[in-house]
Amino acid sequence: MNKTIVLTGAGGVLCSTLAMAFAKQGNKVAVLDLRKDAADKVADEINKAGGQAIGVAANVLEKDSLLAAKKVINDAFGKVDILVNGAGGNHPLGTTSNPYLEAADLANKTEGFKTFFDLDVNGIQFTFNLNFIGTLLPTQVFATDMVGREGCNILNISSMNAFTPLTKIPAYSGAKAAVSNFTQWLAVHFSKVGIRVNALAPGFFLTDQNRSLLTNADGSLTQRGQQIIDQTPMGRYGKAEDLVGTTLFLCGDGAKFVTGVVIPIDGGFAAYSGV
Ligand code: NAD
Report CA(14)–ligand 1 centroid distance (Å).
Answer: 7
Pocket flag, ligand 1, residue 66 (CB < 6 Å): no
Residue 107 has pLDDT above 90, yes or no: no
Where is 82: in which H helix or E strand?
strand 82-85
CA of 255 to the centre of ligand 1 (A): 25
Q: β-strands 195-202, 82-85: how paired?
A: unpaired
CATH superfamily for 4-95+125-209+240-271 is NAD(P)-binding Rossmann-like Domain (3.40.50.720)
Q: Do 5 and 22 touch, CB atoms closer than 8 A?
A: yes
pLDDT digits (tens, 9 = 90+) for 223-268: 999 999 999 999 999 999 999 999 999 999 999 999 999 999 999 9
pLDDT digits (tens, 9 = 90+) for 169-191: 999 999 999 999 999 999 999 99
Task: For residue 108, name the pLDDT band (cuts at 50, 70, 90).
Answer: confident
The structure's pTM equals 0.97
**Domain boundaries along the sequence of the chain:** 4-95+125-209+240-271
DSSP state for residue 34 in the 8-state scheme: S
Is the CB of residue 130 below 6 angstroms from any atom belonging to ligand 1? yes
Ligand 1: residue whose CA is nearest its atom 23? 12
Q: Is the pLDDT of residue 213 over 90?
A: no
Q: Is the CB of 11 under 6 A from ligand 1?
A: yes
Task: Return the higher-pLDDT residue of 55 and 106.
Answer: 55
Residue closest via CA to ligand 1's atom 12 equals 9
Reported as type and span, the H/E element at residue 250 is helix 244-251
The ipTM, to two decimals, is 0.99
Name the CA radius of gyration of the chain, rounded: 19
CA of 89 to the centre of ligand 1 (A): 5
Q: Whose CA is nearest to atom 41 of ligand 1?
A: 205
